[in-house]
Amino acid sequence: MTPPPSGLANSAGSLRQEMAAAFTISMASPTRCQARTRLYRDGRLELEGFPVADISEYLADESVTIWLDLRDPDHGDLTVLSEEFGLHPLAVEAALRHSQRPKLDRYRSHLLLTATG
């Protein structure tokens, strides 16, 4: 049997990735942009596509790592980073500025590393 042309194989692979990623989309999000959530416990994927507003509830557990992906967020969408992760609003503001110099800011609960590429 002849393998499919490489373009078709790549398309099929992309489709599988998109379908798998669809499970991570949170249907309950305070953001206007698309949000994807994942929860890892002890390094293993345990939950995906859960409401963004639940992030702060999971963070008390030190065995948990949360992944939040915001697709093309606007300034208002990024307030969720302060609300759910407890990031300082100035840290979120700094992330929006494209002309930041490389630096490390220390906050009470976290560090923010700004680096340019």
What is the pTM assigned to this prediction? Answer: 0.65
User: In the beta sheet, which residues pair with residue 33?
Assistant: none
For residue range 5-64, list pLDDT tens digits in order.
545 455 555 545 454 556 667 776 777 788 899 999 999 999 999 999 999 999 989 999
The Cα–Cα gap between 60 and 48 comes to: 18
- At residue 84, does pLDDT exceed 80? yes
- At residue 78, does pLDDT exceed 60? yes
Read off the tokens for 77: 């969408």
The Cα–Cα gap between 47 and 89 comes to: 27
The Cα–Cα gap between 66 and 50 comes to: 11
Least confident of 2-11, 45-54, 67-76, 90-99: 2-11
- Kindly report the CA angle at 38 between 33 and 43, in degrees rounded to 5? 150
